[in-house]
């Protein structure tokens, strides 16, 4: 059967042309986010079909929001998304480095180097760089960890707000740090429109926008036991449509008394097992409210499932479906509980042994509020990493230049054409200090040359001061970043680049390749021979 019959309604691109178009897509994608890199990076305005707007400096948010259909562009975005999930920072760095690797690889292909040879060279460079990163790393103090969190948020908001959120993220990380592990899911976020970003506060303990169901209930304040009910204390509804045949005047009253007795029986069981605080997913009947109040059981109702899960983890309580069948083993414990009025909203706050914290995010608009939450989540992710493993690298482009210098010396010992690929990989790393300088208004190449010369004479900790464009000691200036962020960015970018280099045949089935809106023209004429 002829090939054109087999591939009916399919557009096929193969060989060098396929690689050229794939590299085009990656470079166009990097062009969409390169200007957001660093503390001097600019913001992007995203507008959806319904006219809703979003202003953000977060590279992965831009990429995931943009309409992208090209499969290679999706591969690069996937690497960026993984970077965000694993490291919470470095998403733009991953995309920019990957695109530069492919740009440099394309130039080698045009010189006659086979893509498989380039892929081998890239893999060798990655292994060498990851080992060198351990040598360049430093043990971090608490002050340096705070500086690193602030560095990760640089350019996302104004400097005062970045410092404020960095301190909140660091404090939250300290609260949830248990046995050398910090789980960011133990931090609850409540969004409240109104006020300014600086009104954002952190509460020790889990806070819920709830009030006790009866005003006469005691707020307690000390330690006690808690039961979480995956349901409510309500009169049961019949499962089927039924009719009651009333033959005597007292039957209705007897029926209601039986229902009330069932509720009281459940409450008596709570008293027997020693329940001090009851939290229900659903409602509580009027009769049950008064009975709970009389028996001294502080009760909250209509609590969301995700909040019940948080309380379960913090207090060590089981989520039970029926109060009648609850046992002492289902109870959890807490240290204290209280209610506070914040921003005009009453919050119930509970402290437990396993720790927990709540961020009350404030902002003038929904858009500002969303950006505050995103920045705090990124800062918290970085804080958790560093509290678990306090190891840092120098920022401001210092680490990338130091790696590039070592890689070029290492390349001299590698025989064959892989040496060219290692040098191309080193050049790709240096795209980061070039982009940082360009976004700050300086010449990227001149800044890179000055930085390389300064490191050669003054040491590996020298990075770019983006206020004046001159090389300065990044450690003294507190420009630091977690080791894991750089390692993940390098690994993610290299793996994506190698995967794309290995593609030599692209088959399109009745659809057109697309790249993010508005940047198609950047691809025109690239690499044409």
Annotated catalytic residue within 276, 330, 378, 427 = 378
**Active site (annotated) includes residue 91:** yes
Q: Is residue 337 within 8 Å of 299, Cβ to Cβ? A: no
Q: Say which residues have a Cβ less than 8 Å from residue 19's Cβ, sequence separation at least 6.
A: 106, 109, 115, 501, 503, 504
User: Across the strands, what pairs with 139?
Assistant: 391
Q: Is 464 left (phi over 0), alpha (psi -120 to 50) or beta?
A: beta
**Active site (annotated) includes residue 58:** yes
Residue 302 tokens, joined: 């209509």
**Active site (annotated) includes residue 378:** yes
Annotated catalytic residue within 56, 92, 394, 399 = 92
**Active site (annotated) includes residue 512:** no
Query: What angle, 0 to 180 degrees and rounded to 10, lies between the N-to-C axes of helices 91-110 and 71-87?
Result: 140
Q: Rounded distance, CA 36 to CA 58, Å?
A: 7
Q: Say which residues have a Cβ less than 8 Å from residue 527's Cβ, sequence separation at least 6.
A: 20, 23, 24, 106, 110
Q: Is residue 55 within 8 Å of 43, Cβ to Cβ? A: yes
**What radius of gyration, in Å, describes the C-alpha atoms of the chain?**
30
What is the residue-wise DSSP string for 127-194?
Answer: HHHHHHHHHH-EEPPHHHHHHHHHHHTTTTS-HHHHHHHHHHHHHHHHHHEETTEE-GGGEEEEEEEB
Measured between its terminal Cα atoms, the distance across the chain in Å is 34
Annotated catalytic residue within 36, 56, 58, 494 = 58
* Residues belonging to the active site: 58, 91-92, 378
């Amino acid at each position: 059967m002829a090939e054109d019959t087999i591939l009916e309604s399919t557009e096929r691109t193969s060989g060098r042309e396929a690689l050229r178009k794939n590299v085009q897509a990656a470079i166009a994608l990097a062009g969409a986010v390169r200007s957001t890199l660093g503390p001097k990076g600019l913001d992007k305005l995203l507008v959806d079909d319904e006219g809703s707007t979003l202003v953000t400096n977060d590279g992965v948010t831009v990429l995931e929001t943009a309409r992208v259909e090209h499969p290679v562009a999706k591969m690069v975005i996937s690497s960026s998304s993984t970077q965000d999930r694993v490291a919470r920072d470095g998403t733009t760095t991953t995309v920019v480095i990957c695109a530069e690797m492919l740009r440099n690889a394309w130039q080698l292909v045009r010189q006659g180097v086979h893509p498989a040879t380039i892929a081998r060279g890239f893999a060798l460079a990655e292994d060498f760089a990851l080992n060198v990163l351990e040598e360049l790393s430093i043990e971090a103090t608490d002050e340096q960890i705070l500086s690193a969190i602030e560095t990760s948020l640089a350019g996302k908001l104004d400097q005062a707000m970045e410092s404020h959120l960095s301190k909140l993220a660091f404090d939250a990380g300290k609260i949830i740090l248990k046995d050398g592990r910090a789980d960011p899911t133990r931090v609850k976020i409540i969004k409240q429109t109104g006020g300014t970003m600086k009104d954002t506060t952190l509460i020790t303990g889990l806070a819920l926008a709830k009030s006790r169901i009866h005003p006469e209930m005691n707020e307690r304040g000390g330690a006690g036991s808690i039961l979480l009910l995956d349901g409510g204390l309500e009169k049961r509804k019949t499962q089927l449509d039924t009719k009651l045949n009333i033959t005597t005047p007292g039957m209705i009253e007897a029926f209601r008394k039986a229902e009330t007795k069932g509720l009281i029986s459940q409450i008596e069981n709570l008293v027997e097992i020693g329940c001090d605080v009851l939290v229900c997913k659903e409602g509580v009947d009027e009769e049950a409210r008064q009975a709970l109040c009389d028996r001294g059981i502080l009760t909250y109702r209509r609590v969301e499932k995700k909040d019940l899960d948080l309380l379960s983890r913090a207090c060590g309580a089981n989520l039970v479906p029926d109060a009648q069948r609850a046992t002492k083993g289902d109870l959890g414990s807490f240290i204290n509980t209280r209610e506070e009025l914040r921003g005009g909203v009453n919050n119930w706050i509970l402290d437990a042994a396993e720790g927990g914290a709540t961020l009350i995010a404030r902002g003038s608009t929904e858009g500002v509020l969303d950006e505050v939450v995103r920045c705090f989540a990124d800062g918290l992710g970085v804080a958790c990493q560093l509290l678990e493993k306090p190891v840092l690298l120098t920022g401001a482009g210092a680490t990338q230049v130091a790696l590039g210098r070592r890689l070029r010396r290492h390349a001299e010992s590698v025989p064959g054409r892989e040496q060219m690929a290692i040098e191309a990989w080193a050049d790709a790393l240096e795209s980061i200090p070039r982009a940082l300088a360009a976004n700050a208004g300086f010449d990227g190449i001149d800044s890179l040359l000055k930085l390389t010369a300064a490191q050669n004479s003054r040491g590996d900790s020298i990075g770019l001061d983006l206020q004046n464009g001159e090389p300065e000691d990044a450690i003294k200036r507190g420009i630091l970043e977690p080791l894991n962020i750089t390692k993940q960015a390098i690994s993610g970018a290299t793996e994506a680049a190698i995967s794309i280099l290995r593609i030599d045949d692209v088959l399109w089935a009745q659809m057109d390749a697309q790249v993010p809106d508005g940047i198609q023209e950047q691809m025109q004429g690239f690499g044409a021979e």
